[in-house]
Structure 1
Amino acid sequence: MKKLFLLLTIIGSFVVGAQTTGKIEGKVTLEDGMPMSGATVYIKTLDKGTVTDFDGNFILDDIEEGLYDVSISYVGFETVMQSVTVSAGQTTTLNTTLKETDSMLNEVIITSSKQPQKITDVPASVSVIRAKDIQEFPSFNIGELAARQKGVDFVRTGVLGTGINIRGFNSAFNSKNLQITDDRVSMLIATGLPYGSFSTVTKDDVERVEILLGPNGTLYGPNAHNGLVSTITKNPRTSEGTTFVFGGGSQNVITGRFRHAQVINDKLSYKVHFERTAGREFQYVDSVYVGNTAYTEKNLDRDFDALKYGGAVHYKTGKSSELIGYYGHSNNTNLAVTNAGRNQIKDWTLDIAQVKFVSKNFFANTYYTWSRTDDTYAINQRTQNYVSFIENGFSEEESWSRALYEQWVPAFGIAIPRGALFKDASERFNAEAQYNNNWDKFYLTVGAQYQRDMADSDGTYLLDQDGPIEIGQTGVYGQFEYKLDNGWNFLLGLRADNHDLYGTNFLPKAAITKSVDAGTFRLTYGRGMAVPSILNLKGNLFGGLVLGNGEGFTLSNGNTIDALEVETINSFEAGFKGQLSDRFYIDVSAYYNMSENFISPLRNIADAANNVYVTEIGGTPIDEVSPGASASPALLTYSNFGSVDTYGIDIGLNYYFSDALRASLNYSYFGRSLDTDDLDNDGNLDGVVLESELPINTPSNKFNLGLHYNKNKFYGAIYGRWIEDYDFFSGINVAAETQDLDGDGVNEIVENAQVGRTWNYGPLGGFVVDANIGYSLNDNVSFGLNVTNLFDSEMREFVASPAIGRLVSFELKYNVNFFKNKKNSTD
């Protein structure tokens, strides 16, 4: 027995003596001591790393003896670099505290590759709205922060109505920039429009917004065409506490918000949020024309009301895996701009239910969305219908009631279908699974996505009299990265996307980046596509005045309009993001896009003056598809233009005068080249292609300059924003300078005059100054004030919308973490 013991001792001593590796372990926390789950711990020289578990702990095993630089990073927080010495057979402890980043180059984002990446390594042009930016912005509408980002066309249609466009053609119904929230598509089902005020997420629950410029369809699918806007909300485990907010401002705005997040135990945490905002829209009444006679919008309701609430439960299924359940609801009553006049939104609700599983290497996500409204209507069309009845002897009550469905034709003494009512009972199902891993310098991401849209308007604004319109699409993708120690990174990606109507389309992506001491150079190629929305394909508005183009049209003169095809874009970009000095940061990119089959805004394809009418749709007599459509003096639809090239530059500069004071400057230029030999670009169908026939709806030059201050208890910013005047055409809406569109010597567009069915106030654009300031009374209470258009400048930002005057808002915020205080007193 003694001999056996002696032998084991000798063997043990030999093993210990021969051991040459040790390990590093530790914990990553926030400044308040909260554990940081999912932080990345990485040793670049060994290309070895891990992520922290839900308690913030990590272990790196089998590390050879030596001195190493270890980086610790997390999305939205400053990357920390620490040197540690590893000894054989020993455990080195490395505990780290992360704080929100103030440096744009230390920031980590997740949207570009669906994996955490330092922003300088991302092979795309990216703008980030951080949690700190949102917290210090005392407005009930965080959409305004998009106006301060480079490469983004920001527009405002009212108090709550804000929208963005990225690098290209715009319209009142713009669905070419995909918007997602926590891996959920945030676009309305039938129209494909961004949620906007329909969002179920409240401001205080938003962790960050990442805006990617250019095509990002390889990982995200159709309609990440010109860009991608990703909203990421807070994890309750790293944002525990309670927030109460009361706010208000001009236009009778009153808002109240509440958010609560709590960690129940080592496995379970949850959050809930609530918001109610009400107010009165700017004074503006659009003109509604019946012939050449102008009428005001009938019974215009300028009061708006937005209600939203939701919550999520997070359950740890393992040290690095989590199961998340989410539900959100919104209810909206407001005014909405469309390309056929304004809509009176009445109690339009949106509900979302989601279940998501997240682990180190695997991600699975499924969610269901449903949309409901019964009383929304088109103001322009209902007003026209009302006029037709009231001027022919009908009572006020009957005229207004029948105006929802019909229009009176005195020449024949009958009413024809001209429905203005919009109902919606649409639903959508989405599912996604993804696997990612890396082996040494090789990184792999593969996944699959499925989406089924079930649009149901009960025959009010879609060709769905026979039941809901169902369209499915499936995409599979793979992305491969090879990262070398010398700073060169190579990326290849490919997506195959199969659509029920359009078959399979391929979306490739490629990028080369080179990191140097000052920053990173990038050269990228991406292909994107915009699939026509259900409204584009199957719309049936106002008794056939507006029809979708899913099957093509035949005109009475023998001409035909082809059915809509998928719009594609091939984009090439070169850029640099880096640090030119200790205080000077630059992000610059230049791009060239080649678009095919650009999907137009609404275009009139009938010409009553020359006796040209639509006779068939898809080979079927048009009255069998949409009764009464042939009686329309005009017929608006969507079509594909041909080849159009666009190009531009985006420049973002930031200079830190001190840790407290920063200046930012953003400039963008956008240009285009139209193929005048391609008759698909003949906007007015007269056989001649003119430069003016394809609406750009985007300013050629835009510029903003800002100053940001944050020290001790004070914070604030002032921003000047200039947008070069530009013309905007979208359906019946026109905002343009006086011009001759067809070169015949007659001005078809006249500024400050009637143009078609609306009034033209002239080009959009101008200069405004916005400012905000805040003060933290203590750790729990803060007060902020925001002024949009500080000097009350005359600036119209969108068609069928008021000139946005000075808008003042304030917020009083109370933050408290009862549970932290209780834990500390217990300790």
Structure 2
Amino acid sequence: MIKKILLLAFLVCGSAAMLAQTTITGTVKDAKTGEALPGANIKVERKAVGTNTDFDGNFSLNVADTPPFSLQISVLGYKTEKVEVTKNNQKIDVVLTENETFLDEIVVSASRTPERIMESPVTIERLDSRAIKNTTSPSFYDGLENLKGVDINSNSLTFKSVNTRGFATFANERFMQLVDGMDNSAPGLNFAVGNLLGISDLDVKSVEILPGASSALYGANAFNGIMFMRSKSAFDDQGVSFSLKRGITSQKAAGDNEFNDFNIRMAYAFSDYFAAKATLSYLKGTDWYATDYRDEIDGTSMSHSGNTAYNGLNMYGDEVGTTLDFDALAGTPAGTLGATRVTRTGYRDIDFMNNEAKSVKFGASLNYRPLGDDRLEIIWNTKFGSGNTIYQGQNRYNIKNFTLAQHRLEVRGKNFFVRAYTTAEDAGDSYDTRFAAINVNRACGI
């Protein structure tokens, strides 16, 4: 009987120990004004466990950890404070001081390891999560144009090309675009297709741009600069968020057309060791119609009527032609009947081009921390994108049903990382409109 009582007492005490929690309460205020700071982050150091202050600056946090441990208290625009928790039911009153400078921002693009921006050996332009949220541009990618030394060339509604320090081209082959360390360039094109197949607006943590030559660290493709986009952590940025942008695009030739951009992001930490996230983006609109049919030479002719050598700007296939020597054909002396150039039938851009702009992006990651904190993390990340767009280079290209898939495995510590990734591309039904029109004429015997 005594053994049963002792066993029962042991089980009860053991269960109580396993269910024991440490409770911390307190307030967070401004050191200068004494006013409460709502929305401040209270987080257990090195773990994805925390809470936020309410409207009055108060907080209450229950954790399974046993003291002693440390809490990190932070809020945007203030210096982060660290407080030691030494006992259960401890009350903590914290005052935060404002940041007078942003030179202590952490960047990774300059030397591939985290360092303060003031210690960076090169110039870095940075767009953080706050700037991304406050930008008045349709997307964070369009908002990059507000950074110093950065220009955005628009090929079409969904195809933007980033250029720095005067390297202004519609397809900047020597500018590298990295998403979480993966080169986002399409292998077949040798340049990035803007953010058509990139990262979701809701999942962007920061964007760093090195305007100068960075080939020493990133290879010859970074000769004109590099853009490094980092996504949010599944451990540190949990929850469900979504956005919906709607509007119209208006053009005389195309009329009024709807524009829709939907994004959703879900992230959850199942424990201190395992977390996962998924993102989905869908964009659909109508691209601008190209309807300038003036002749490239005289600038006035609009068709072959009165101009047998007609070659319209937004007409394809009429570049091919031949010179007819009527004197040679009729056997008359040279100069009697003369000669003229005759071009083939052309096709209008609107009849040959798919103007539907569409983008579908999906991303997922599985994150594992073997030590239960951020000292070591193993990440498996998958990104898939598909879409339609228009690329305007030397010729006009219809990028249709284009897909790009990337898979990444990374082991990351405080001062090191080992990363391996693969990229797969499928051009789908894409084509060069100029040569497609020429081949149509050939197939028809024209």
What residue in structure 2 maps to residue 181 of structure 1?
179
- What displacement does 1:189 show? 1.2
Root-mean-square deviation (CA, aligned residues, Å) is: 3.5
* Aligned 1:105-184 pairs, distance under 5 A: 105-137=103-135, 140-184=138-182
CA distance in 2, matches of 1:245, 1:113: 34
One-letter code aligned to 1:207: K
What residue in structure 2 maps to residue 307 of structure 1?
360
CA distance in 1, matches of 2:92, 2:377: 25
CA distance in 2, matches of 1:336, 1:133: 29
Among candidates 404, 411, 425, match of residue 357 of structure 1: 411
What residue in structure 1 maps to residue 288 of structure 2?
282
- Over residues 327-366 of structure 1, what are the superposed CA-to-partner deviations in whole Å (9 max), with x where a residue is unaligned? 1111112222232x11112211111111111112331111
- What displacement does 1:315 show? 0.8
- What displacement does 1:198 show? 3.7
CA distance in 1, matches of 2:173, 2:100: 33
- What displacement does 1:191 show? 2.5
Alignment pair present for 1:333 and 2:388:
yes
One-letter code aligned to 1:151: G
Alignment pair present for 1:253 and 2:273:
no
Contact residue 77 and residue 108 of structure 1 kept, 8 A: no
- What displacement does 1:170 show? 3.9
Alignment pair present for 1:263 and 2:269:
yes
CA distance in 1, matches of 2:174, 2:207: 18
CA distance in 2, matches of 1:100, 1:346: 50
What residue in structure 2 maps to residue 201 of structure 1?
199
CA distance in 2, matches of 1:106, 1:97: 20
* Aligned 1:360-759 pairs, distance under 5 A: 360-390=414-444, 392=446
Q: Give the 3-state SS of the residue equivalent to 1:147 in structure 2.
A: helix
What residue in structure 1 maps to residue 309 of structure 2?
none
CA distance in 2, matches of 1:158, 1:180: 22
What residue in structure 1 maps to residue 18 of structure 2?
none
- What displacement does 1:220 show? 2.0
Contact residue 109 and residue 116 of structure 1 kept, 8 A: yes
Alignment pair present for 1:296 and 2:295:
no
What residue in structure 2 maps to residue 396 of structure 1?
none
Q: CA, structure 1 residues 361+140, in 2 after alignment: closer, same or farther (shift >3 Å)?
A: same
One-letter code aligned to 1:183: G
CA distance in 1, matches of 2:45, 2:101: 20
* TM-score, length-scaled by structure 1: 0.36
Q: Give the 3-state SS of the residue equivalent to 2:186 in structure 1.
A: coil
Contact residue 158 and residue 196 of structure 2 kept, 8 A: no
Q: Give the 3-state SS of the residue equivalent to 1:163 in structure 2.
A: strand
Contact residue 140 and residue 255 of structure 1 kept, 8 A: no
* TM-score, length-scaled by structure 2: 0.65
Contact residue 281 and residue 361 of structure 2 kept, 8 A: yes
Q: CA, structure 1 residues 81+197, in 2 after alignment: closer, same or farther (shift >3 Å)?
A: closer
One-letter code aligned to 1:333: N
Q: CA, structure 1 residues 201+83, in 2 after alignment: closer, same or farther (shift >3 Å)?
A: closer
Q: CA, structure 1 residues 284+233, in 2 after alignment: closer, same or farther (shift >3 Å)?
A: same
Q: Give the 3-state SS of the residue equivalent to 1:381 in structure 2.
A: helix
- What displacement does 1:254 show? 1.1
What residue in structure 1 maps to residue 369 of structure 2?
316
CA distance in 2, matches of 1:222, 1:238: 34
- What displacement does 1:95 show? 9.9
- What displacement does 1:182 show? 0.7
What residue in structure 2 maps to residue 272 of structure 1?
278
- What displacement does 1:183 show? 1.1
One-letter code aligned to 2:392: V
- Over residues 170-227 of structure 1, what are the superposed CA-to-partner deviations in whole Å (9 max), with x where a residue is unaligned? 4333211111111111111132201423424211000010011212222222312121
One-letter code aligned to 1:216: S
One-letter code aligned to 2:245: G
Contact residue 388 and residue 402 of structure 2 kept, 8 A: yes
Q: Which runs of 5+ in 2 are unaligned?
A: 1-38, 49-64, 84-90, 250-257, 292-313, 322-341
CA distance in 1, matches of 2:93, 2:217: 35
Q: Give the 3-state SS of the residue equivalent to 1:244 in structure 2.
A: strand
Q: Give the 3-state SS of the residue equivalent to 1:165 in structure 2.
A: strand
CA distance in 1, matches of 2:173, 2:99: 33
CA distance in 2, matches of 1:327, 1:97: 41
What residue in structure 2 maps to residue 637 of structure 1?
none
Q: Give the 3-state SS of the residue equivalent to 1:150 in structure 2.
A: coil
- What displacement does 1:158 show? 2.1
Contact residue 35 and residue 238 of structure 1 kept, 8 A: no
Q: Which runs of 5+ in 1 are unaligned?
A: 1-29, 40-54, 61-71, 85-92, 393-827
CA distance in 2, matches of 1:241, 1:97: 28
- What displacement does 1:110 show? 1.9
One-letter code aligned to 1:267: Y
- What displacement does 1:37 show? 4.2
Q: Give the 3-state SS of the residue equivalent to 1:237 in structure 2.
A: coil
Q: Give the 3-state SS of the residue equivalent to 2:435 in structure 1.
A: helix
CA distance in 2, matches of 1:58, 1:136: 39
Indicate the percent of aligned positions where both proteins have the same amino acid: 21
Contact residue 307 and residue 330 of structure 1 kept, 8 A: yes
- What displacement does 1:387 show? 3.8
Contact residue 78 and residue 106 of structure 1 kept, 8 A: no
CA distance in 1, matches of 2:354, 2:99: 44
- Over residues 147-184 of structure 1, what are the superposed CA-to-partner deviations in whole Å (9 max), with x where a residue is unaligned? 10111122112221211112244433321111111111
One-letter code aligned to 2:243: V
Structure 1 range deviating more: 211-220 or 97-106: 97-106
Which of 1 and 2 has greater Rg?
2
Contact residue 77 and residue 99 of structure 1 kept, 8 A: no
Q: CA, structure 1 residues 383+106, in 2 after alignment: closer, same or farther (shift >3 Å)?
A: same
Contact residue 42 and residue 73 of structure 2 kept, 8 A: no
One-letter code aligned to 2:228: S
Q: CA, structure 1 residues 157+278, in 2 after alignment: closer, same or farther (shift >3 Å)?
A: same
Contact residue 34 and residue 238 of structure 1 kept, 8 A: no
Contact residue 210 and residue 231 of structure 1 kept, 8 A: yes
Contact residue 268 and residue 315 of structure 1 kept, 8 A: yes
- Over residues 108-166 of structure 1, what are the superposed CA-to-partner deviations in whole Å (9 max), with x where a residue is unaligned? 22221223322222121111111112223365532211110111122112221211112
Q: Give the 3-state SS of the residue equivalent to 1:158 in structure 2.
A: coil
What residue in structure 2 maps to residue 216 of structure 1?
214
Q: CA, structure 1 residues 264+387, in 2 after alignment: closer, same or farther (shift >3 Å)?
A: same
One-letter code aligned to 2:218: Y
Contact residue 154 and residue 161 of structure 2 kept, 8 A: yes
Contact residue 263 and residue 281 of structure 2 kept, 8 A: yes
Alignment pair present for 1:347 and 2:345:
no
Q: CA, structure 1 residues 325+140, in 2 after alignment: closer, same or farther (shift >3 Å)?
A: farther
